[in-house]
């Protein structure tokens, strides 16, 4: 899935449309609380600016209803962060004063070395509908299209699919972030070195079922943690107390365990649990080995589970991780996720290729300051999970092959 990248394109004197994923979390006052997705696209923007081009960059933010400008979803804070990150590189970072489809004058006035950030794409109802007319209104703005929005690449929004199609035969290339994501979540997984270990966590079995089924037979072992583990434990007849369970999926979980056994994929479940009486940090706590007593809920894997999982990770040459092992935002129930993170980092140091995907996993690593210890931490939550499910993304088809 190797694509032509922005550095292979002559950009001098040209305007490059970059579809980024700037859908970043914000505080109540509108300030950005986590700018990882913005920082991840800076190298692509820099590549154009430093080689004499200009950039028109666009993204969605939040969930406006497509009824025009909604102040709470404005890209104003993103524009300010771009100015800070591109200080000394970009001549000016402008925020368009019009809706994306009406920003003709702003795009025409853009000079080499400058950046124009379009307002929120979802202010236009045509964006989520994949409307070709909306895409056609934007297509004349630039001389080339660059997809650097892996986090939105599993969607066929207008800016992701209709726009590059409308811009043909103008060049359509990948940004550095997209290329890196495809390398690690595509090529690495397709040609994984063995032993290959997958780690799946999070709250819901239903969210991870397609990924589980797709990976069985392809990986040597699947480590299951987080609340989703309790549905599997209940499927084995193990009492889980008041832990979160998807009862309608217990039979499906049994089937998954049987399928894994038939295809020589080992599934490792927690053997002990860090439990609380209530879902809060100062709740009464207890460690249960095996079954969990009534009135207690599992909020994290226990210390023996952490050792068991770390031992399996230590054998791996390829590790893919999606989903935390417990309530990582609420110490002390972050201990299991941190233990697994350190085990994955140690595997990286020992030569394994290690990839983390999913918003919660990335957030947990960022909070702990551990992101740099892995081979790659994906910026795409839903996109990375769908790639683990084996899905193909239509938005990548217009991007030229390398």
Please give the positions annotated as active site. Answer: 37, 204, 359, 382
Judge whether 194 and 218 are in contact, CB under 8 Å. Answer: no
């Amino acid at each position: 899935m190797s694509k032509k990248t922005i550095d292979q394109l002559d950009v001098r004197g040209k305007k490059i449309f970059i579809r980024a994923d700037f859908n970043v979390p914000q505080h109540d006052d509108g300030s950005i609380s986590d700018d990882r997705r913005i920082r991840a696209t800076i190298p692509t923007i820099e590549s154009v600016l430093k080689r004499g081009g200009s950039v028109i960059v666009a993204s969605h933010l939040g969930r406006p209803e497509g009824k025009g400008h909604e102040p709470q979803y404005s890209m104003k804070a993103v524009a300010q962060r771009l100015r800070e990150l591109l200080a000394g590189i970009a001549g000016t970072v402008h925020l368009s004063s019009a809706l994306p489809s009406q920003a003709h004058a702003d795009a025409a006035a853009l000079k080499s070395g400058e950046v124009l950030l379009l307002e929120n794409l979802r202010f236009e109802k045509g964006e989520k509908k994949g409307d070709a007319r909306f895409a056609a209104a934007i297509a004349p703005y630039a001389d080339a299209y660059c997809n650097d929005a892996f986090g939105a690449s599993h969607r066929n929004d207008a800016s992701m699919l209709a726009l590059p199609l409308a811009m043909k035969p103008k060049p359509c290339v990948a940004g550095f972030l997209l290329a890196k994501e495809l390398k690690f979540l595509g090529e690495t997984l397709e040609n994984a070195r063995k032993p290959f270990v997958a780690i799946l966590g999070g709250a819901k079995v239903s969210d991870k079922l397609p990924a589980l089924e797709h990976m069985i037979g392809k990986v040597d072992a699947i480590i299951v943690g987080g609340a989703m583990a309790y549905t599997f434990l209940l499927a084995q007849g193990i009492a889980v107390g008041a832990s979160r369970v998807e009862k309608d999926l217990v039979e499906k979980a049994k089937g998954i365990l049987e399928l894994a056994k038939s295809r020589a994929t080992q599934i490792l479940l927690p053997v002990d649990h860090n439990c609380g009486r209530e879902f809060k940090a100062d709740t009464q706590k207890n460690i249960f080995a095996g079954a969990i007593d009534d009135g207690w809920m599992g909020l994290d894997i226990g210390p023996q589970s952490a050792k068991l999982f770390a031992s399996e990770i230590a054998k791996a040459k390829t590790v893919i991780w999606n989903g935390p092992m417990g309530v990582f935002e609420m110490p002390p129930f972050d201990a299991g996720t941190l233990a697994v993170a350190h085990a994955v980092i140690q595997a990286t140091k020992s030569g394994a290729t290690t990839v983390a995907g999913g918003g919660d996993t990335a957030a947990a690593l960022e909070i702990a300051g551990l992101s740099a210890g892995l081979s790659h931490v994906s910026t795409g939550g839903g996109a990375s999970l769908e790639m683990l499910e084996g899905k193909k993304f239509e938005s990548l088809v217009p991007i030229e092959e390398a």
